Amino acid sequence: MIELRHFQYFVVLAETLHFGRAAQQLHISQPPLSRQIALMEAELGVLLFERTRRSVRLTRAGARFYQDAVEILNSVERARRNAVAASRGEDGAITVGFMMSSAYNILPALTRTYAAAYSRVDMKLAETLPNLLAEAVRAGQTDVGIMYRPEDLTGLDTATVFREEMVAVLPRTHALAKARVLDASQLAEESFVSIPREIAPLVYDLVVDHCRRVGFSPHIRLETNLQQTIINLVGEGLGVAMVPMSMSSASASGSAVFKPLRNAPVAEVALLWSRDNHNPCVATFVENARTVWREMQRAPGARLVPDSPDTGVR
């Protein structure tokens, strides 16, 4: 049987056309090399080299065999590199689920840098509601989720990848629309538009708890699943709201205004992945996300809330 090492012996000899130099490059002695080449020729049933006392030349069959042998060795090396790359998460596929609001903060930079660094990984993106996304990650239907951290973290690991303040959203015609900064207590008599707690408990609780800290419980008049829809409803004069600051770039109509809040609550976006998910691309995606978040915090003029000591993997 011809083995991989025989192809290596043959190629080196074909390129040097000298048994002594070929043996030296292969770190073997000359007699074993001569025997192995002779065994190859016997196995193939053709002469690969013409030998004289003074020279070694490839036969016509040997020249043809050389082309194929080089291709075989290159294919084996490529297969080795591919296997190593796959084991390191540099090749393969990953499915990333994200909530809509992350498209206005961390998602663009994260996916752009990952695609550039791991061009051989097939990355698929799917927009999903936060409550459904956590279950999809836990069930293995999605490799990684980008969302507000859920209450139930059973079987999940998480890493904070974005932090920003919440801001107030008012109709442009509101009496407070020209204020530079708002205290949440100024909204005590307003009707609120909010995301339902079952969809994103972290954001819902941020709003309610902040209002309670300044002395009132918000009257939630309308609930809708998407932050963009919240902004649109506020713009139509149906109430006020509190949303993550990055959502201010989502208002195209100009009918809503965004105002900083005094002692504003901070919303965290987390990366979620299942502890039972052994896709090596998950590890590279998580590390890339951490790098992107660090760079975003250091960027000149960044209006982001830096990590606190208790954030990170949980």
Q: Give me the architecture of the 92-161+268-298 domain, per CATH.
A: 3-Layer(aba) Sandwich (3.40)
- Phi first, then psi, for residue 57 (nearest 5°) are -135, 150
d(CA 25, CA 22): 5
User: If one looks up domain 164-266 in CATH, what number appears?
Assistant: 3.40.190.10
Number of Cα atoms under 13 Å in the Cβ half of residue 14: 22
Domain segments of the chain as ranges:
4-88, 92-161+268-298, 164-266
Q: Give me the architecture of the 4-88 domain, per CATH.
A: Orthogonal Bundle (1.10)
Q: Can you give the pLDDT at residue 313? A: 38
CA distances (Å), 133 to each of 64, 124, 249, 281, in order?
56, 14, 24, 19
Q: Can you give the pLDDT at residue 308? A: 60
d(CA 66, CA 202): 65
Name 129's Cβ contacts closer than 8 Å, sequence gap at least 6.
99, 199, 225
**Could you list the mean pLDDT of each consecutive 10-residue stretch along the chain, which spans 314 residues?**
90 94 93 93 94 91 94 84 71 90 91 92 91 90 92 92 94 95 96 94 95 96 93 94 90 81 94 91 92 86 67 40
Helix spans in 88-200 (H): 107-117, 130-138
Q: Can you give the pLDDT at residue 254? A: 74
In degrees, rounded to 5, the angle at the alpha carbon of residue 72 between the alpha carbons of residues 60 and 13 is 50
Domains 92-161+268-298 and 164-266 share a fold: yes
b (16+ CB within 10 A) / e for 76-86: eeeeeeeeebe
Look at the chain and count its residues. Answer: 314
In degrees, rounded to 5, the angle at the alpha carbon of residue 311 between the alpha carbons of residues 308 and 314 is 165
Q: Can you give the pLDDT at residue 76? A: 85
Q: Can you give the pLDDT at residue 253? A: 54
